[in-house]
Amino acid sequence: MSVVVLAGGLSAERDVSLRSGRRLAESLRAQGVEVSVMDVDANLLPALRDEAPDVVIPLVHGAAGEDGSLADVLDALGVSFVGSGSVACRQAFDKAIAKGVVAARGLAVPYGFSLPHGIFRDLGAPAVMEAIVERLGLPLMVKPTRGGSALGATLVRTAAELPPAMVAAFAYGDSAMLEQYVNGVEVAVSVVDLGEGPQAWPAVEIRPRSGVYDYAARYTAGETEFFVPARISAEQEQQCAKAAVLAHEALGLRDWSRIDFIVTDDEVVFLEANVAPGMTETSLFPQAAAAAGMSLGQVAAALISRR
């Protein structure tokens, strides 16, 4: 069986994706699988035709990798691939849509708004921001509606910090989310379907040293402390697992995903779903796999065998 891992692409998460791709390929090789890693560029389609792999594993983070475009192209090529289809990707990648979908299924989500730059321009940013701060309170979170790795995300503690936070978010896209800041334990739950329906792995608790799980905290070893199992009650762990599987199913995700939550005293609050979870040395999915007693390569090999 031959496998191609797709990594790289042109999004701001290129570097993360390359690292994820290399790591996954390495762990698959350890399972005896023949793997090559390809970038997503003009050479890709001819290369896929030449190589005719049995299965493709897209690990391209951000934009084309997670917004469903790549899944559509792979479908068009008739290539079998691991991971979610284009419709699910599209729903999950847009955080506002994802929130709506999972909220309709009863999951708690942070109260907030997703707004394009144009609406601030048309209505006058100060008035809109004032209304939002009044409604959401402070602190609040601002992040690009589409995108990952916390790029362009800011924890806004005062009203004065909001305008530059908006500018930072709009640098990554035309739409930004403004949400109530939910105080609690940040966890990531990986969901994997190895043939018996989607199962949640143990939640990984995230404790960034700086207090904010930003890009540096995500990708610098040592900057964040991870707890597996998470330091939450057994009941909360169960709630997380249930909510993660529910979100995975509600969004129509396939094979694997990572669902991020904040666990408060009262509830489990959905933040976002990731269709191409990071697989780097500091990523959450591999830690969850280890907690579940599997290596990355074993998980991927099992998923490949199902295609």
Chain residues in the site for other proteins (CB under 8 A): 10-16, 18, 41, 117, 120-121, 125, 149, 151-152, 154, 160-161, 163-168, 170-172, 205, 207, 214-216, 218-228, 231, 281-282, 287
* Helix residue spans in the chain (DSSP H): 14-29, 44-51, 63-66, 69-77, 86-93, 95-104, 117-123, 125-136, 162-170, 215-219, 234-250, 284-291, 296-305
Nearer to other proteins, 146 or 254 (CB): 146
Question: C-beta of 8: minimal distance to other proteins in Å?
Answer: 8
Nearer to other proteins, 128 or 192 (CB): 128
Nearer to other proteins, 198 or 286 (CB): 286
Nearer to other proteins, 107 or 129 (CB): 129
Question: C-beta of 60: minimal distance to other proteins in Å?
Answer: 12
Chain centroid offset of residue 86 CA: 15
Question: C-beta of 123: minimal distance to other proteins in Å?
Answer: 10
Structure tokens that stand for 99 in this block: 């929130």
Question: C-beta of 185: minimal distance to other proteins in Å?
Answer: 12
Question: C-beta of 296: minimal distance to other proteins in Å?
Answer: 15
Question: C-beta of 163: minimal distance to other proteins in Å?
Answer: 4
Nearer to other proteins, 20 or 84 (CB): 20
Please report, for residues 11, 146, 161, the alpha-carbon distance to residue 66 in angstroms, rounded to integers and kept in the order given: 10, 9, 30
Local structure of residue 35 (DSSP, 8 states): E
Question: C-beta of 26: minimal distance to other proteins in Å?
Answer: 17
Please report, for residues 55, 64, 131, the alpha-carbon distance to residue 307 in angstroms, rounded to integers and kept in the order given: 7, 22, 50
**Of the candidates 191, 187, 186, 189, the residue with the CA atom closest to the CA atom of residue 257:** 191
Nearer to other proteins, 148 or 297 (CB): 148
Cβ atoms 300, 37 nearer than 8 A: no
Distance CA 167, CA 95 (A): 18
Question: C-beta of 19: minimal distance to other proteins in Å?
Answer: 10
Chain centroid offset of residue 8 CA: 16
For tokens 């129509």, what's the residue?
A: 252
Work out the angle between the directed axes of helices 14-29 and 296-305 (0-180°, nearest 10). 80
Distance CA 156, CA 92 (A): 24
Nearer to other proteins, 220 or 305 (CB): 220
**Of the candidates 1, 21, 25, 27, the residue with the CA atom closest to the CA atom of residue 298:** 27
The H or E element spanning position 208 is strand 204-208
Nearer to other proteins, 100 or 124 (CB): 124
